[in-house]
Amino acid sequence: MRVTIHDIARIVGVAPSTVSRALSGKGRISPTTRERIRKVAEELGYQPNMLARGLATRSTCAIGVVIHERHLPLDERSFYGVILETIEAEVSKHGYHVVFSTLRNQSLPRCIKERRVDGVIFLGTDINEELIRPINEELPVVLVDHCLSGLTSIVSDNVGGAYLATEHLFSHGHREIAFVAETLEDPSFRARFEGYRQALEWYGLRVKKELVVEGGRRSDSDQIAMKKLLRKRKLPTAIFAANDFMAAGAIKALTKAGLSVPDDVAVVGFDDGALATLVHPPLTSVRVPRVEMGKTAASCIIKLLASPSETSQVIVLSTPLTIRESCGCKGT
Amino acid sequence: MRVTIHDIARIVGVAPSTVSRALSGKGRISPTTRERIRKVAEELGYQPNMLARGLATRSTCAIGVVIHERHLPLDERSFYGVILETIEAEVSKHGYHVVFSTLRNQSLPRCIKERRVDGVIFLGTDINEELIRPINEELPVVLVDHCLSGLTSIVSDNVGGAYLATEHLFSHGHREIAFVAETLEDPSFRARFEGYRQALEWYGLRVKKELVVEGGRRSDSDQIAMKKLLRKRKLPTAIFAANDFMAAGAIKALTKAGLSVPDDVAVVGFDDGALATLVHPPLTSVRVPRVEMGKTAASCIIKLLASPSETSQVIVLSTPLTIRESCGCKGT
DNA sequence: CCTCCTTGCGCAACCGTTTGTCCACATTAT
DNA sequence: ATAATGTGGACAAACGGTTGCGCAAGGAGG
C-alpha cells in the first residue's frame, strides 16, 4: 500500500491535518515540525493521492484537449499534433496534465462530462457550438483555430495570410491564379479563400469560377482537385493551395503531367509545416504558427483557471509568408 | 452544485447506498425502486463524480500514454500521433481515457508518479529501463516500438521489413544498395540496418561502409546524409532509407542533382506513412502497421487491467512491402 | 498578577462514492 | 403455530486528503 499522510502523521507523532499543512505550506506550522514532516515524507517517498486531493478541493489538475475526429489522423495531414504536444509541455509547467480525447459523432467525451478536468481546450473547427456553450457554463474553455463569441479563441490570420500569398503571386506577374482546396465548407479554408478573393479584388481582378477547385474530403482529394484543374482548356500560371497537403499534391500532379514547378506553374501553400520542406521544390507557404498557438492556448487556459471571471478575448496570430522555391521568385 | 447520489437518495426517499447499487446494477435491489432511482437520476442529469468513485475503488479509469521527447514533434517526422489517437479510440470504448504526456529529461510525468492512471503505455524507444521497471511493479505497462524482457511489448518487424526491402531491390538487379538513416543509435534504425545486412549477406554481398550513411539528429539530416552519399566517386543504383523522411529527402536531393528516381537511382523507404504518397514519385515503402500497433497496445493494456497477472508477451507485427513507383519495378 | 494575542497544533467534518454488515420483513418449510 | 430461509434496503466505515474551528501554552502589555 502506498504511504499516506496518516502514515507520516503516526511516525512523526502529529495529526494528519498537520502533515497536510506542513506539506502544502498553508497554515501556521512551526518551522521545526515542518522540517521533520518534510524529511519523513521524503524518506518514505510520499506521493499525494491526487484523487483524494481533487475530491477535497474540487479540482483535478487536468485539462482536457479535445480534437474533432475530422482533423484526424494526427499525421502529415493535420498539424494538431504539434499543438497538442506544445500544450502539454506548457501546462505541465504549471502542474497540470493533459487528458487527450477526440470528439466522436459530436458527443462530448466522458472525461469532460464527468468533470475529470478543470478546463477544456478545443482544437479545430467543426465543433458544434451547442456542445461547447454548456461546458463553458461550468468550466473555462479555450478555442484553438475556431472562434465563438464570448469565448477565448486563438486563431491564425487565415484571411491575411491568404491575401499575402495571393498578393505575392500577383506581384510576380501572375494574373491567372487558381485556388485549390479540399473543401470550402471548412471555415479555415473558406477564410483562406476570402483572403484570396480580397487580394484579387484589390488588384482589379475577379475570381474566376473555373480556377477555384475543391477535391472533397477523400484522402486523394489533392489528385481529384488537380485532375479537375488540368482538364481546363487554359491552365493557370499559379496555384494557391489552401494547405500544404494540397500544394504538395499540386506539385506532384504538375510534375507528373510534365510541367515544371515553378517555371510553368508557380505554387504557394498554406501551413508551412514539415511537409513544406519535404517536397521538391520546397514549398513557399504561409506560416501557421502552431507552436505559438499551442503556447497561447496553454497560457490562456492557465489564466482562466486562476481567475475564471477573466474576460474572453480573440487572439489573432499573424501568418507571414515563408518564401522558398515553389513560387519561382527566389533571388528576384 | 452538481447533483450527487445523496440528492437522488433524498428525492426518492432511499439511502445513498441504495442509489449507488441501483445505478451500478450490483447488489440486490427490487426492480421497481431501481427504476424509480434510474428515472430520477436521468431527470436530474446525474453524472457520477469519478474522483470520488476512483478514491473508493482505487481506480482512475485513465491510462497514461507516454512518449519520449525525442520522438516529437508529432508531425510528418513521427508516426506516434496515429498510434496515440488509435489508442485513445480503443480504450475509450472500454470507458478509459487517455492522459497524454511526454518524457522530459528522463523523468516520469507527475500524473504517473501520483498514480492518476491505472496503466501506462510507453511509446517509442529511448526510454530508460530503470524508469519503466519500477512502474511495472505497481501498474500494468505496455511497450510500443520497444522491447524489454518480462514486459508486454508491441513491435513491428523491423529486421524482416528491411530484409524484404533489400531483397526486393536485389531481385530487380541492384547490387550497389546504399543504406541511409538519421542515426544508427536508434534501436529501430539499427534493426532495419540489420535486416539490410542480413539480406545482402544472404545474397552473397557485403555491406560496403561507404554506402552506409547517417545524417544525424538535426532536422536537415536527410540532406546532410545525401550530401555525404553524393560526394562518393561511385553512386549506388539504389537507396534503402531507414524511414520515409530520409527517403523523401533522398528523392529530393537526387532530383535536385539532376538524377531521376527511379531510373537513375531507385529508392525504398520505411514506415509507409502519409508522406509516402505525398512525394513524387510515390514511395515504395515498408509498411509499419501503426493503427494495428495502437489497437494491439490498447487491447493488451485492457487485458492487463482486467487480470494483472496475465503473462507478458512480445507481439511482433509484420511489415509488408508496399510497392509504388520509387523503386522502379511498377509493372514488372 | 491578570488579561489579551499570538502561535502551533489537534479534532472533526467534509468531498462523493463503494461496499460489508446487519436488520426487518416476507415467504416457505416443518 | 414456529423455525429456517430469502429479500430489500439502511447504516456506517472506508478511500486520502483539506480546512474551519477551538484550545492550550507562551509572551507581551497593563
Tell which residue, B68, B62, B155, has the closest CA to residue B109: B68
Contact A97 B76 (CB under 8 A): no
Average pLDDT rounded to a whole number, residues B62-86: 86
To the question of domain A5-48 being in CATH 1.10.3720.10, the answer is no
CA distance B75 to chain A (A): 5
- CA A16 to C1' D26, whole Å: 24
**CA triple A304-A320-A215, angle to 5 deg:** 95
Q: Which of residues 23-62 of B touch strand D (CB under 7 A)?
A: 27-30, 32-34, 52, 55-56, 58
Q: Which residues contact B76 (CB under 8 A, 6 or more apart)?
A: A75, A76, A273, A274, A275, A278, B245, B274, B275
First-to-last CA distance in chain B?
70
Nearest CA in chain B to A249: B278
Classify residue A186 by its DSSP letter: S
Residue nearest to nucleotide D7 (CA to C1'): B28
Whether a cis peptide bond, with omega within 30° of 0, leads into B320 is no
Average pLDDT rounded to a whole number, residues B150-172: 96
- CA A9 to C1' D18, whole Å: 15
Whether a cis peptide bond, with omega within 30° of 0, leads into B73 is yes
Residue A256's pLDDT is what? Answer: 87
Residue B313's pLDDT is what? Answer: 93
Contact B274 A77 (CB under 8 A): yes
**Assigned fold of A62-156+290-317:** Rossmann fold (3.40.50)
Print burial letters for A133-163: b (CB count within 10 Å at least 16), e (below 16).
Answer: eebbeebbbbbbbbbbeebbbbbbbbbbbbb
CA distance A175 to chain B (A): 27
C-alpha grid cell, residue A151 = 469565448
Q: pLDDT tens digit string along B24-56? A: 888 888 889 999 999 999 999 999 999 999 999
- CA B29 to C1' C28, whole Å: 21
Widest CA span in chain B:
90
Residue B173's pLDDT is what? Answer: 94
Within 107-136 of A, beta carbons closer than 8 Å to B belong to 109-111, 113-116
Residue A203's pLDDT is what? Answer: 96
Residue A233's pLDDT is what? Answer: 82
Tell which residue, B277, B297, B1, has the closest CA to residue A249: B277
B91 pLDDT higher than 80: yes
Put the strands of the sheet holding B321-322 in their side by side order: B212-214, B177-181, B238-241, B266-271, B284-287, B321-322
Each domain of chain A, given as residue ranges in start order, spans: 5-48, 62-156+290-317, 158-288
C-alpha–C-alpha distance, residues A200 and A243, integer Å: 19
Query: Cα dihedral angle (B243, B247, B248, B253), rounded to 10 degrees?
Result: 140
Within 236-275 of A, beta carbons closer than 8 Å to B belong to 245, 248-249, 251-252, 255-256, 273-275
Q: What is the mean pLDDT of chain B?
A: 91
Note the CATH number of domain B158-288. 3.40.50.2300
Q: How confident is the model at residue B332 (pLDDT cuts 50, 70, 90)?
A: very low
**Strand, coil or helix: A224:** helix
Residue A114's pLDDT is what? Answer: 74
Determine contact, residues A99/A117, Cβ cutoff 8 Å: yes
- Do the domains A158-288 and A62-156+290-317 match in fold? yes
Ranges of residues in chain A with a pLDDT under 70 are 76, 106, 331-332
Q: How confident is the model at residue B164 (pLDDT cuts 50, 70, 90)?
A: very high
Which residues have CB under 7 A from strand C? Answer: A 13-18, 27-34, 52, 55-56, 58; B 1-2, 4-6, 16-17, 20-21, 23-24, 26-27, 46-49, 52-53, 55-57
Residue B53's pLDDT is what? Answer: 93
Residue B64's pLDDT is what? Answer: 95
B99 vs A contacts (CB less than 8 Å): 62, 97-100
Helix A290-306 vs helix A80-93: angle between axes, to the nearest 10 degrees?
Answer: 40
Residue B234's pLDDT is what? Answer: 86
Print burial letters for A63-98: b (CB count within 10 Å at least 16), e (below 16).
Answer: bbbbbbeebbbbbbbbbbbbbbbbbbbbbbeeebbb
Task: List bases in chain D with any atom under 7 Å of a protein Cβ.
Answer: 7-20
Residue B162's pLDDT is what? Answer: 98
Higher model confidence: residue A179 or residue B219?
Answer: A179
- CA B28 to C1' C29, whole Å: 24
Put the strands of the sheet holding A266-271 in their side by side order: A212-214, A177-181, A238-241, A266-271, A284-287, A321-322
Of B2, B100, B251, the CB nearest to A280: B251
CA distance A32 to chain B (A): 27
Looking at chain B, the whole-number percentage of residues with pLDDT higher than 70 is: 98
Residue A332's pLDDT is what? Answer: 45
Q: pLDDT tens digit string along B169-204? A: 999 999 999 999 999 999 999 999 999 999 999 999
Residue B106's pLDDT is what? Answer: 67
